[in-house]
Each structure stands twice: as C-alpha cells, then as structure tokens.
Amino acid sequence: MAWSRVWHITVLGCVFFLAACQGMPSGSTSTEGEATGLMTEQRTLTVAAAASLTESMEAVKASYEAAHPEVNIVYNFDSSGTLRTQLESGADFDVFVSASRAHMDGLNDEGLIATDTIKNMLSNEVVLAVRSDLKGVRHFEDLLHPDVKRIGLGNSDVPVGRYAIDLLNHLGIYDRLQDKVSWGSNAKEITQWVKEGTVDAAVLYHTDANVEDLTVVDTAGSADLTEPIVYPVAVVKTSTQADVAQAFVDYLFESQSRAVFEQFGFTTLDN
C-alpha cells in the first residue's frame, strides 16, 4: 500500500507540474512551444504566373514574405496556355496571373476562376530584338531580309506568340516568314534564343528584352495589334485558402509592388 500511495502522489505531482508550466508567462520555456505552434500555422500559397513575370514576381515575393512571414509563396512559371491546361487538369493553384485576358476569360467560363476577383494588373509591349551584330534590320518588315535566317516566335497558345502572329499578319508578312521560324514554348525560351544567338531575331516582350539587355530595333504600337497586351490576375475558385490568396492579389496592386513592376518595364493598371 505504501508504494501505491507513493506512486499516486508522484503522478499527481507530475500533473500539477505540467499544469503549472502551461500557465507560465511569456518569456518562460513555454514560449518555445508557442513559437513552434506559430511555425506549424505557416500557409503556403501556390501562384501560377506567366513566364514573362519571373523576375518581377520574385522581387514582389521577397517583399511580401518579409512583411508576412506566416505566408510562403511558391511560384509555377510557364506560358499562360500551359498554366491554363494545368488548371483545367486539376492543378492545385491558389492564384493565376496570365499574360493574356483570353486564357483568364476561358478559365472563368469553365468555372475555374473566382469571377469577382479578376483584375487587369499590367500591360506590356512586343518588340523586335536582334543579335547585336546583325546589321540592316531596323523594322519588323526587315525580318524578310536575307540575313535574317532564323526567327524566334512563341507557339500560338503562348500569348507572346499570338501577339507576334497577330502583328506579323497585320503587316502582311507572316506567311512569307514560315520557313525561318523556330517556335518557342514560352516567352523566356524565345528571349534566351536571342541572347545566345540561336536565332537572328525574335518578337518578344519589351520587359524580357529589358531584363536581358537585348538589342531592340522596333516596337509594336497598340494599333498594330487586335488584342491589347494585358496581364489579368485572379483567385482560383478551388483554392482552399481564398482569404490568403486575395490578400496577396491585393498586395500586387499596392504602391511597393507597382514600383517593382514598373522598374522591370511593365505599365501598371488600376483594373
């Protein structure tokens, strides 16, 4: 019986000790447990974004995470057409940033986007970038020049490719360039081709040419395109953390984010 009473008292003592620890003020050892608890509550936000936004969105991520340490942003950069296909196949994205309103509207029509969250965020331009040593090419029409043997264009499901095809058709030279074209899967791939000299020239985004300091000889005006170059953003309808997703979307329109986008050559929009 004596040993039983000793064991019982010991157990009660442990219970009271643990209860006392739970009531310890901040600054005690329980703070470590509280900190650990906060870490386990960190939210991961998955953002699907057009490849041409890579550098600017990475810069925005750094500032956002510094201000919101409870959120970890994970990006998936690719062409807007590829990202749309992934969303249609059930990809677990929280936010979608497209380089084309058409892809955003298509997903919205399919019921995959939270309609009331769609906003036009940025605009861009398409330019003609050439190898730095290429002479005699100053305008888009000069792509017909015999010294231009390889031209980089995006595939038709890549927004920058569709804009380029639209432009070249408007100028009446698209059909005459087919034998020269190398087709790229996203804007960054085409940009890299010019940088490495894999192609002699390419129709790509002003912002990508700016990042890589490429030689730009011509710029398309809005009158040369049937579709404005707009980057819309929205919360994905299947997101399980729409509140966190919307907070990030809102941040993209704040002054510090707008300054980042403008630094990379985008024009910021209010909606």
Percent of the chain with pLDDT over 90: 81
- List 219's β-bridge partners, or say none: 127
**112 lies in the same domain as 60:** yes
Q: Is 248 part of any domain?
A: yes
The pLDDT value given to residue 34: 41
What's the pLDDT tens digit per position in 31-70?
333 444 444 478 999 999 999 999 999 999 999 999 999 9
| Residue bearing the bigger pLDDT, 110 or 271 | 110
User: How many independent structural domains does the chain possess?
Assistant: 2
Instruction: Give a yes or no: residue 34 inside a domain.
Output: no
pLDDT at position 49, please? 98
Same domain membership, residue 116 and residue 157: no
Same domain, 117 and 205: no
What pLDDT, on the 0 to 100 scale, is given for residue 115?
98
Domain-embedded: residue 195: yes
Is 91 found in the same domain as 49? yes
More confident residue, 234 or 221: 234
Q: Which amino acid is at 29?
A: T
- Position with higher pLDDT, 21 vs 139: 139
pLDDT at site 223: 85
Q: Under a CB-based contact definition with an 8 Å cutoff, are residues 121 and 231 in contact? A: yes
Mean pLDDT of 92-112: 97
**Do the domain assignments include residue 49?**
yes
Cα–Cα distance between 25 and 27 in angstroms, integer? Answer: 6
222 or 100, higher pLDDT: 100
Q: What is the pLDDT of residue 41?
A: 78
**Same-domain status, 134 and 213:** yes
Across residues 59-83, what is the average pLDDT? Answer: 97
* Within-domain flag for 175: yes
Token readout for 88 is 């249609």
User: Which of 270, 239, 225 lies closest to 122 in space, CA to CA?
Assistant: 270
Same-domain pairing of 113 and 149 = no
Q: Say yes or no: 203 and 263 in one domain.
A: no
Q: What's the whole-number mean pLDDT along residues 200-207?
A: 98
Of the candidates 97, 103, 101, the one whose C-alpha atom is nearest the C-alpha of residue 81 is: 103
79 falls within a domain: yes
Query: Per-residue pLDDT for 116 more than 60?
Result: yes
- Hey, what long-range contacts does 84-91 have (CB within 8 A, 24 or more apart)? 86/48, 87/48, 87/112, 87/236, 88/112, 91/48
CATH number of the domain to which 209 belongs: 3.40.190.10
pLDDT tens digit sequence for 13-38: 443 333 344 443 444 333 333 444 44
- Averaged pLDDT, 145-149: 96
Average pLDDT, the chain: 88
Q: Are residues 194 and 237 in the same domain?
A: no
Same domain as 136, residue 215: yes
Residue 240 is predicted with a pLDDT of 96
Last residue of a domain, one of 206, 224, 242: 224
* Percent of the chain whose pLDDT exceeds 70: 85
Same domain, 83 and 135: no
Q: How far apart are the first and last CA of the chain?
A: 79
Q: Which domain holds residue 185?
A: 126-224
Residue 113 reports pLDDT greater than 60:
yes
Residue 70 lies in a domain: yes
- Average pLDDT value for residue range 202-221: 96
Confidence band for 3, pLDDT divided at 50, 70 and 90 = very low
Q: How many residues does the chain have?
A: 271
Whether residues 165 and 207 share a domain: the answer is yes
Q: Identify whether residues 213 and 248 lie together within a single domain.
A: no
Does any domain span residue 103? yes
Listed range (1-5, 230-234, 241-245, 252-256) with the worst mean pLDDT: 1-5
